[in-house]
Amino acid sequence: MFCDLAESQSFTKAAQLSEVTQSAVSQQVSAMERRFQSLLIERRHKQFRLTREGRAVYDYSKQIARTYAELHTRMAQLKDQISGTIDVAVIYSFGLYDLPPFLKTYLQQFPTVNVHVAYRHAREIYEDVLSNVVDLGLVAYPGRGPKLKVVPLRRDRLVLVCHPQHPFASAKSVKLRNLSGEKFISFAAGVPLRKALDRVFRERKVQARSVMEFDNIDILKRAVEIDAGVSIVPESAIASEVAAGTLKSVTIADGEFYRPLAIIHRSDRVLTPAMKEFIAVLKDPG
């Protein structure tokens, strides 16, 4: 419970994860503070911050929880049964649109495994993986590092998306140069897809007129739906809106553009059977 609280920085979220009341979480924290005779969480000005003692309790609590999970995994292995807990951090677009069918397949095959999924921004996922907060991270445009292991998954096709009444909507395809001067809705500066598109635009001397920036793909899609501008997004992220007729997907004529997806984990992470099977399911094209 304390680990959930420290990672979510929310008493409400921690209560939901433990299926108890928010008051019960507060009482447990108070009991731990009495036990260790130390303040674990600073509660001033409604801000959540672990104290130095709270960070120590979190670090050791995480080790205890992981050891307990490993015990369960080992006992299951002795019975030739795959079980345990997997903590996964995933970027919003992958988690909302790509992950669900794979997760459903995995849980059908291994119902005794608990998979905890946390939605994070890319930078936070790398931090969580390297600090052992999560076991696996699911990212786009994976970065490299001496402490990271990258497992490529697949490539997401990128398409132009616009309002059904936009002039681009009736075209079979659109060249990137036609975006010059066009109202363009961008991802926020820290999003890897934004960095990739900025690089492509510079190389091709495309000067789109950025009118809005979002770090959440759902909000970006809503902006396109009200005809505030056009954008370039993963094709899988707009499938339901295209089917419903609220958005139009248009092929980019300059060639095939893709967003690479990958799993990352610490290079020294010992993968449990449950984690290995999870990766195997994600790598299966279906």
- Tokens (6 digits) for 173: 């395809």
The least confident of 45-49, 91-95, 180-184 is: 45-49
Among all chains, which residue has been given the structure tokens 């279906």?
286
Please give the residue that has the higher pLDDT: either 70 or 76: 70
Residue-level length of the chain: 286
> What is residue 233's three-state secondary structure?
strand
pLDDT digits (tens, 9 = 90+) for 92-148: 888 888 899 999 999 999 988 999 998 888 989 998 898 888 999 999 999 888 899
| Domains of the chain with bracketed CATH | 1-79 (1.10.10.10), 156-260 (3.40.190.290)
Residue 44 has pLDDT above 80, yes or no: no
DSSP 8-state class, residue 230: B
What is the band of 280 on the pLDDT scale with cuts at 50, 70, 90? very high
What does the angle CA 220 – CA 226 – CA 231 come to, to the nearest 5 degrees? 40
Q: Collect all residues with Cβ–Cβ distance below 8 Å to 163 and sequence separation of at least 6.
A: 169, 224, 225, 226, 227, 247, 248
pLDDT digits (tens, 9 = 90+) for 195-235: 999 999 999 999 989 999 998 888 999 999 999 999 999 99
Q: Collect all residues with Cβ–Cβ distance below 8 Å to 31 and sequence separation of at least 6.
A: none
pLDDT digits (tens, 9 = 90+) for 9-43: 888 888 887 788 989 999 999 999 999 999 999 87
pLDDT digits (tens, 9 = 90+) for 136-170: 999 999 988 889 999 999 898 999 999 999 999 99
Q: How far apart are CA 94 and CA 236, in angstroms?
A: 9
Please give the residue that has the higher pLDDT: either 147 or 286: 147
Question: What pLDDT is stored for residue 196 in this prediction?
Answer: 92
Strands 136-140 and 84-90: parallel
